[in-house]
Amino acid sequence: MDTHIAAMGGQDAALDLAVTRLLPASPAAVFAAWTEAEQAKNWWGPYGMTVPVCEIDLRPAGTHRTLMRDAAGAEYPSTLVFEEIAAPSRLVLRADAGQCGLPDAAVGTITFAPDPVGTRLTAHWRHASPAGRQAHVDMGFVTGWGQTLDRLAAHLMRPPPGTPSAVQPAEQHGWLTRILGTWRYEAECEGPPGQPPMKGTGIERVRLLGGYWAIGESEGECPGGGGQARMVVTMGFDPAARRFRGTFVGSMMPFMFVYDGALDEGATTLVLDTEGPAMKGEGTARYRDSVTMQGDALRIVGSEVQQPDGTWHRFMTGRYERIG
């Protein structure tokens, strides 16, 4: 928890909303992306938004004024007021009643803390009333901030000048920063007929490879016993095909699963299709894995297999809790 929230006595569930993201850039670079208008134009707002107007007067009582425009041409003006500027570690901004669709005032504290990944950014909003907080939730706080930080991450992961064949990372590459860090997981797998589910636990560490790939390395118990297992997942996004691509290998099998998938409409769940050896009998089967973010610190991973009638049957669920 950042020091500003701690100084307020912790988060108040009736008034507060917060989102945290690990970003692969220094606090100074992330702070600059927030406070330089030409940079903010490149990432401010959820997927599909453009920002034809961005004016930032970086001083106490100065304003952060934007005009967002969606694909249908609808416009969303917003003016925030700087209450505190502590470069490159913290910004405090006030949204007065009527701004950003809020019914009453809210104060946002944005912190930029050093982290082994680069920066741990936390955006914490305290609302003047429970009704104001609920209005922010109803407007799509989780989706809006999640997608906005995806775009910020992609903006920060620009390839070095002159890099051969390099393209600017897309917002979907930015989505991969949601899963960065260290996670403790518990997996529950369907057992043999008439037997209880099998469980296993372990640790996964997810890092970035450049601005295009996330690499997850896990080590833990095989569900139901059978010793330790090590697994490696790679995940990236193909801008030309507009599809996520990835692989999965494990120490307990000689087969590589190759993933192809996409995000759902709200960019909360990544659905990945693959094909591999059938769990029962000979031949192959179609599988579908899903990765669902439930806030910043909880990730639910599900695995399903397609049945002969075309339906999908879930046989494994993993619960991943962030510990770093």
Task: Please tell me the predicted confidence (pLDDT) of residue 10.
Answer: 60
Q: At residue 319, does pLDDT exceed 70?
A: yes
Task: Please tell me the predicted confidence (pLDDT) of residue 3.
Answer: 30
Cα separation of 205 and 297, whole Å? Answer: 14
| Domain 3-156 architecture | 2-Layer Sandwich (3.30)
Q: CB of 273 within 8 A of CB of 286?
A: yes
Task: Please tell me the predicted confidence (pLDDT) of residue 165.
Answer: 66
Which has the higher per-residue pLDDT, 100 or 146? 146
Q: At residue 184, does pLDDT exceed 80?
A: yes
Q: At residue 8, does pLDDT exceed 70?
A: no
pLDDT digits (tens, 9 = 90+) for 88-104: 999 999 999 888 778 89
Quickly state the pLDDT bin for 5 (edges 50, 70, 90). Answer: very low
**Average pLDDT, integer, range 33-48:** 97
Q: At residue 9, does pLDDT exceed 80?
A: no
Sheet of strand 75-86: strand arrangement: 16-23, 118-127, 106-115, 90-95, 75-86, 63-69, 50-56
Q: At residue 1, does pLDDT exceed 90?
A: no
Q: CB of 173 within 8 A of CB of 153?
A: yes
Q: At residue 6, does pLDDT exceed 80?
A: no
> Three-state SS for 148?
helix
Neighbours of 154 (CB within 10 A): 23
Give 41's contacts (C-beta < 8 A, 6+ positions apart): 51, 54
pLDDT digits (tens, 9 = 90+) for 221-265: 987 777 899 999 999 999 999 999 999 999 989 999 999 999 999
Neighbouring C-alpha atoms within 13 Å toward the C-beta of 195: 10
What residue ranges do the domains of the chain occupy? 3-156, 176-322
Tokens standing for residue 322: 């962030």
Task: Please tell me the predicted confidence (pLDDT) of residue 247.
Answer: 98
Cα separation of 305 and 324, whole Å? Answer: 32
Q: At residue 11, does pLDDT exceed 80?
A: no
Cα separation of 54 and 33, whole Å? Answer: 12
Which residue shows structure tokens 């912190």?
A: 111
Identify any residues that bridge with 107 across adjacent strands, giving them in sequence order.
94, 126
pLDDT digits (tens, 9 = 90+) for 198-213: 999 999 999 999 889 9
Q: At residue 293, does pLDDT exceed 50?
A: yes
Q: Which residues of 204-239 are buried (b: 16+ CB within 10 A; e: fewer)?
A: bebebeebbbbebebebbbbeeeeebebebebbbee
Mean per-residue pLDDT over the chain, rounded: 93
Q: At residue 182, does pLDDT exceed 50?
A: yes
Task: Please tell me the predicted confidence (pLDDT) of residue 167.
Answer: 85
Tell how many helices (H) and how many strands (E) occur in the chain: 6, 17
Radius of gyration in angstroms for the set of CA atoms belonging to the chain, rounded to a whole number: 22
Which has the higher per-residue pLDDT, 277 or 11? 277
Superfamily of domain 176-322: Calycin beta-barrel core domain (2.40.128.20)
Neighbours of 244 (CB within 10 A): 22
Which has the higher per-residue pLDDT, 222 or 30? 30
pLDDT digits (tens, 9 = 90+) for 52-87: 999 999 999 999 999 999 999 999 999 999 999 999
What are φ and ψ of residue 270, in 5° steps?
A: -100, 120
